[in-house]
Amino acid sequence: MTTLALSITDIQAETPLIKTFLLASGNGRPLPAFTPGAHLKISIPDQKDPRCYSLVSLDADVDEFGKPEHYRLGVRLEDPSTGGSLYMHGLQVGDALQAEGPFNDFPLHAQSSGDAETVLIAGGIGITPIAAMATALKRAGKPYRLHYYGRSIAQMAFLSPLAALHGSALQVHADDDPATSRPLAELLDQADRGQHIYVCGPKGMIDAVRAKTLELGWPESHVHFELFVNAGPQFGDRALEVELRQSGRILQIPADKTILEVLEEAGCDPLYDCRRGECGVCQVDVLEGTPDHRDYYLSDAERKEGKVMQICISRSHSDRLVLDL
């Protein structure tokens, strides 16, 4: 993948914690086209892994997807930051960035699915890929409904341009405004099972949508999501032992690290991409032991079978795992 040279041409504070970055080509070459839901991988100095930020589109009158004159990113300052958002929020207009992409692990399949209204659900900074999907559907003349959830109006980015572009198709649900509050369960109860749902936001929102659509008998192929959080320790996590059968190595996995992280520290070169359990790149065969599946990639049947696991996020119910590595 060719590295993109980008230059920051504008920075706007959307909320106290969210900034928008407008990026132009840094070498005069045309920017690659992208599709709604796509992201860039931005290189962060002194960090091994790049940070992924979704491409935002808020203008249906121009072809921001096919012939982009600039890229727009929305970045929330995380607390605590692992380095990416803190670095981004310290940048100035004129600064240069290096990126790879665009990539798309969250494509908009329903754009050509006939007259069924697409349901778009965003939570917090999850509005970034969802806004691009809404713009694409508006541009294509497809029916859709955009539900934007946030803790408060003051923390919700892009409200003015979203309202101007989408009108009554936009429904804002802020926790601090009872007049706009709408439980996710109620929204899904009233939706049609034939509709496609796209949801991006915190883990709790993703889990709630997945659980409710499963309860309602929604086709799994109609529920699409992207999670904006990487693997982290959970309450009750404990250390485990992992044997790599092919090499015979035995590794100790502490409670606060993933199997993938320990493999990297041990000098192994495992395949991975998202680090969130969504893409399936880090999947390995389980020869012994009982995985504790925390991914969003495997089917329920695959989880019950316990023959494979995603080592970037999943752990173990047993004290020991034997992996085909």
* Residue-level pLDDT at 1: 59
* Residue-level pLDDT at 229: 64
Q: Are 156 and 150 contacting, i.e. CB atoms less than 8 angstroms apart?
A: yes
Side-chain half-sphere exposure of 285, counting CA atoms within 13 A = 5
- Residue at token pair 């979203």: 162
* Number of helical H runs and strand E runs in the chain: 7, 18
* Residue-level pLDDT at 110: 59
* Residue-level pLDDT at 112: 47
* Residue-level pLDDT at 221: 87
- Can you give the C-alpha Rg of the chain in angstroms? 21
* Residue-level pLDDT at 16: 94
Digit-by-digit pLDDT tens for the chain (325 residues) are 578 999 999 999 999 999 999 999 999 899 999 999 999 999 999 888 889 999 999 999 999 999 999 999 999 998 776 788 999 999 999 999 999 999 998 999 855 456 789 999 999 999 999 999 999 999 999 999 999 999 999 999 999 999 999 999 999 999 988 889 889 999 999 998 889 999 999 888 988 999 999 899 998 889 998 876 666 677 778 899 999 999 999 999 998 889 998 998 888 988 888 787 878 889 999 999 999 998 878 888 888 999 999 998 899 999 999 999 9
**Bridge partners, 285 (sequence order):** 308
H helices present in the chain, as ranges: 84-89, 127-140, 159-166, 184-189, 203-215, 259-265, 300-305
- For the segment(s) 240-323, the CATH number from 3.10.20.30, 3.40.190.10, 3.40.50.300, 3.30.70.100 is 3.10.20.30
Q: Are 202 and 232 contacting, i.e. CB atoms less than 8 angstroms apart?
A: no
Estimate to the nearest angstrom the gap between the alpha carbon of 143 and the chain centroid.
Answer: 24
Q: In CATH, what number does 109-227 get?
A: 3.40.50.80
Fold of 4-103: Elongation Factor Tu (Ef-tu); domain 3 (2.40.30)
Q: Where are the domains of the chain?
A: 4-103, 109-227, 240-323
| Cβ-based neighbours of 42, under 8 Å, separated by 6 or more | 50, 51, 52, 53, 73, 84, 88, 97, 98, 99
Query: How far, CA to CA in Å, does 129 sit from each of 40, 56, 273, 321?
Result: 11, 6, 18, 37
Specify the length of the chain in residues: 325
Using DSSP's 3-state secondary structure scheme, residue 283 falls into strand
